[in-house]
Amino acid sequence: SQQGEEDPQALSIQEGENATMNCSYKTSINNLQWYRQNSGRGLVHLILIRSNEREKHSGRLRVTLDTSKKSSSLLITASRAADTASYFCATPARDFQKLVFGTGTRLLVSP
Amino acid sequence: SQTIHQWPATLVQPVGSPLSLECTVEGTSNPNLYWYRQAAGRGLQLLFYSVGIGQISSEVPQNLSASRPQDRQFILSSKKLLLSDSGFYLCAWSVGMGGITEAFFGQGTRLTVV
């Protein structure tokens, strides 16, 4: 299976702390994407990092990519209660027409 | 702007009954369309995807089928539901050319088979 794996499966932190989630994948990729899912809702695209990039920032989000280790991390700085959600990494399949999602990290940010 | 509509939001169906979930996209042409299923607390499993009208690729053999009767309409069906078909079903679309760089999701359908 090409499915990625996120770790940790669940993360519980206090507001103001940083949250780091990791993703590993199995095949060569041209990009890796991170999505957020609020409970019982659809997924929302957060950020994309290309295979020739090592780090990318968007607001309080920082994504890193290590293609040699087939891994990526998502850092949310100064977390807020509203960041409580599940976070998934996704990579294009070989035909580049579909996305394969990881298993997700459930983040709980307590006030 | 592009929008995706998926309905119904929740559905409770008896075992053995048929299923039809519909998804439509507005504001774009020739999108790639996807059906995913998510078990409780789990990741997303790709069920079907389509790169054009009448073109359906099945990822997982099972009790479901998909159809794309129009460019921006994607339907997930079953003739007879099983208990194991319960889950959260998500429709999504992406731009059809150049490789997938972002998927846009509907709000999902919570299906409970009883």
For residue B19, give the amino acid letter.
L
How close does chain B come to A46, measured CA to CA in Å? 9
pLDDT digits (tens, 9 = 90+) for A59-76: 999 999 999 999 999 999
pLDDT of residue A48: 95
pLDDT of residue B42: 78
pLDDT digits (tens, 9 = 90+) for B68-93: 999 999 999 999 999 999 999 999 99
pLDDT of residue A1: 44
**Which residues does chain A have with pLDDT short of 70?**
1-3
For tokens 């679309």, what's the residue? B93
pLDDT digits (tens, 9 = 90+) for B46-60: 999 999 998 999 988
Q: What CA–CA distance (Å, rounded) separates A75 from B66? A: 37
Residue B41 in this model has a pLDDT that exceeds 80: no
For tokens 């206090």, what's the residue? A14
Residue B100 in this model has a pLDDT that exceeds 90: no
Distances in Å between the alpha carbon of A17 and those of A20, A40, A80, A85?
A: 10, 25, 8, 15
Chain B neighbours among A 40-69 (CB < 8 Å)?
40-45, 48
Quick one: average pLDDT of B15-22? 97
Helix (H) or strand (E) holding A63: strand A61-66
Beta bridge partners of B25: B4
How close does chain B come to A69, measured CA to CA in Å? 22
Question: Do A95 and A2 form a contact (C-beta atoms < 8 A)?
Answer: no
pLDDT of residue A70: 95
Q: Mind spelling out the 3-state secondary structure of A8-60?
A: CCEEEEECCCCEEEEEECCCCCCEEEEEEECCCCCEEEEEEEECCCCEEEECC
pLDDT of residue B48: 95
Do you find a cis peptide bond into A8, omega within 30 degrees of 0? yes
Note whether A92 contacts B99, CB cutoff 8 Å.
Answer: yes
